[in-house]
């Protein structure tokens, strides 16, 4: 009787194991975390490149530094977002895809203040795109995953929780991050620009910084902030110099128009605030970013089909893109973007004490790594006293000179700086400063 009962129990166990619908051992291993990584992994790329860093000291020489970081594909044509500091000063960007193939990429747009950039990967085949989450409902304590090129180890996964929200972090005298997500997921050099994921594999942030000397304190830019910046960085006005005249916000069914600019292509065809855009060029849209991506690469004059709803009625419109109105950059912006110099007027009496023949100059406050000025050895503390045949006493002088350089089609531009009492000079190649 005892043996019979034992056999019956064993038979019952075997039958239960064999029943269809029961969880297999392999399925038990495929946890939510595993599925989240499998969902997002192919849309994450590894970024490599070399840059030259200037050391301090009179006899110091520029050092060649191997840079590394991570990027996240946000458009199948190869547009990816990363941190600007990952690609700042890198002349030849290389990207390794999830397949293991290495291809070239280029920087197309950036925002230094928020440390975000968009690169374009040189690819013909469409790339997988990251799933986007939201950061407006994050909970302290919820599980998050960091994915990136940590110390060059590609597609490294670390797990942690959200430790805090709305952190402000100063990482240098010139770089301050605001409203960051704090996490104890391990974030190391090389993780910068990679995604912070929720348990569903959706990107909720871009990993950006780790507290030096601390353990388990890393930070990420919230995805809602990332998307606002990236929408501007990928706008057709910025990339293609075309214009539609729409400002939209996400709503449940599409992108709701908040503003239609006067005399814009959108106003011309009767689009109004309150209209909900459903489709642009046969692509469904739910945000301003979707609209920009749908129009990216199209030329001024090209007509694009747009579907909107107005008071419940669906309308099909034809939007003709126009050439964007050019806004002249300020003198300080041009100096920084084209030369790589942050300049301020030097005290005239100080300049004349150093060299009486100069009426004044512009004090170099900062030099951008990898810029034309950095490549020629200009340093903070130098005084720019001339470009080509003109003096540089006021910031507006620089803008004027850059315009003249372009109109005269010069191949090289001579610069003059004061370093102490010595006047030094060098040459800038015009194609590196005129863009």
The predicted pLDDT at position 14 comes to 46
Whether the CB-CB separation of 75 and 129 falls below 8 Å is answered with yes
The predicted pLDDT at position 15 comes to 45
- Write out pLDDT tens, residues 110-164: 988 889 999 999 999 999 999 999 999 999 999 999 999 988 888 999 999 999 9
Please state the rounded mean pLDDT for residues 46-55.
75
Rounded to an integer, what distance in angstroms lies between the CA atom of residue 308 and that of residue 232?
22
The predicted pLDDT at position 1 comes to 45
The predicted pLDDT at position 23 comes to 64
- Res. 211 pLDDT band, cuts 50 70 90: confident
| Statement: residue 67 has pLDDT above 60 | yes
HSE, CB side, 13 Å, CA atoms: give it for residue 112: 10
| Residue whose entry in the numeric block shows the structure tokens 């495929």 | 30
The predicted pLDDT at position 3 comes to 47
Taken in order of first residue, the domains within the chain and their CATH numbers are 39-121 (2.40.10.10), 143-228 (2.40.10.10), 236-323 (2.30.42.10), 331-433 (2.30.42.10)
The predicted pLDDT at position 12 comes to 47
Rounded to an integer, what distance in angstroms lies between the CA atom of residue 272 and that of residue 315?
12
85 is catalytic: yes
| Residue whose entry in the numeric block shows the structure tokens 């860093």 | 53
| Statement: residue 103 has pLDDT above 60 | yes
- What are the two backbone dihedrals, phi and then psi, of residue 347, each rounded to the nearest 5 degrees? -65, 125
115 is catalytic: yes
- The radius of gyration computed from the CA coordinates of the chain, to the nearest angstrom, equals 27
How deeply is 250 buried, as exposed, middle or buried, from its count of CB atoms within 10 A (0-12, 13-18, 19+)? Answer: middle
- Res. 21 pLDDT band, cuts 50 70 90: low
**More reliable by pLDDT, 321 or 375:** 321
| Statement: residue 13 has pLDDT above 80 | no
Please state the rounded mean pLDDT for residues 208-223.
86
Query: Which of 75, 88, 115, 382 is an active site residue?
Result: 115
The predicted pLDDT at position 16 comes to 45
Rounded to an integer, what distance in angstroms lies between the CA atom of residue 224 and that of residue 204?
8
Whether the CB-CB separation of 10 and 16 falls below 8 Å is answered with no
The predicted pLDDT at position 333 comes to 80
- Write out pLDDT tens, residues 365-419: 988 877 888 888 899 999 999 998 888 998 888 888 888 776 666 667 889 999 9
Q: How many CB atoms lie within 10 A of CB 377?
A: 16
Query: Which of 43, 48, 75, 85 is an active site residue?
Result: 85
- Write out pLDDT tens, residues 157-197: 999 999 999 999 987 766 788 899 999 999 988 999 999 99
The predicted pLDDT at position 61 comes to 54
Query: Which of 109, 192, 287, 430 is an active site residue?
Result: 192
The predicted pLDDT at position 62 comes to 57
């Amino acid at each position: 009787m005892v043996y019979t009962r034992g056999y019956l129990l064993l038979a019952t166990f075997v039958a239960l194991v064999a029943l269809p619908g029961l969880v297999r051992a392999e399925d038990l291993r495929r946890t939510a975390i595993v599925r989240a990584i499998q969902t997002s992994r192919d849309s994450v790329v590894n970024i490599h490149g070399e840059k030259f860093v200037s050391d301090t000291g009179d006899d110091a020489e520029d050092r060649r530094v191997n840079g590394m970081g991570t990027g996240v594909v946000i458009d199948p044509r190869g547009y990816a977002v990363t941190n600007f500091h990952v690609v700042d000063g890198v002349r030849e960007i290389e990207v390794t895809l999830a397949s293991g193939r290495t291809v070239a990429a280029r920087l197309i747009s950036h925002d230094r203040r928020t440390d975000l950039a968009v690169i374009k990967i040189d690819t013909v085949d469409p790339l997988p795109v990251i799933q986007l989450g939201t950061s407006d409902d994050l909970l302290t304590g919820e599980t998050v995953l960091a994915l990136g090129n940590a110390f060059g180890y590609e597609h490294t996964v670390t797990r942690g929780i959200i430790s805090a929200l709305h952190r402000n972090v100063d990482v240098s005298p010139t770089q301050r991050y605001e409203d960051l997500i704090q996490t104890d997921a391990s974030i190391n050099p090389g993780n910068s620009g990679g995604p912070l994921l929720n348990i569903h594999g959706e990107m909720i942030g871009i990993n950006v910084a780790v507290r030096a000397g601390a353990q388990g304190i890393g930070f990420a830019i919230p995805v809602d902030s990332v998307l606002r910046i990236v929408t501007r960085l990928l706008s057709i006005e910025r990339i293609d110099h075309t214009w539609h005249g729409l400002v939209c916000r996400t709503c449940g069914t599409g992108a709701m128009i908040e503003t239609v600019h006067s005399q814009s292509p959108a106003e011309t065809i009767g689009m109004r605030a309150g209209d909900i855009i459903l489709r642009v060029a046969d692509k469904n849209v739910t945000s301003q970013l979707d609209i920009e991506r749908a129009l990216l690469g199209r030329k001024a004059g090209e007509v694009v089909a747009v579907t909107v709803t107005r008071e419940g009625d669906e309308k099909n419109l034809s939007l003709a893109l126009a050439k964007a109105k050019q806004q002249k950059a300020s003198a300080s912006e041009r100096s920084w973007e084209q030369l790589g110099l942050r300049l301020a007027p030097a005290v005239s009496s100080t300049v004349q004490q150093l060299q009486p023949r100069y009426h004044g100059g512009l004090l170099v406050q900062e030099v951008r790594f990898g810029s034309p000025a950095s490549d020629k050895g200009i340093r903070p503390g130098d005084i720019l006293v001339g470009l080509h045949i003109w003096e540089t006493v006021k910031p507006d002088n620089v803008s004027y000179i850059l315009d003249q350089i372009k109109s005269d089609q010069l191949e090289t531009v001579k610069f003059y700086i004061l370093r102490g009492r010595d006047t030094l000079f060098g040459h800038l190649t015009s194609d590196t400063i005129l863009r």
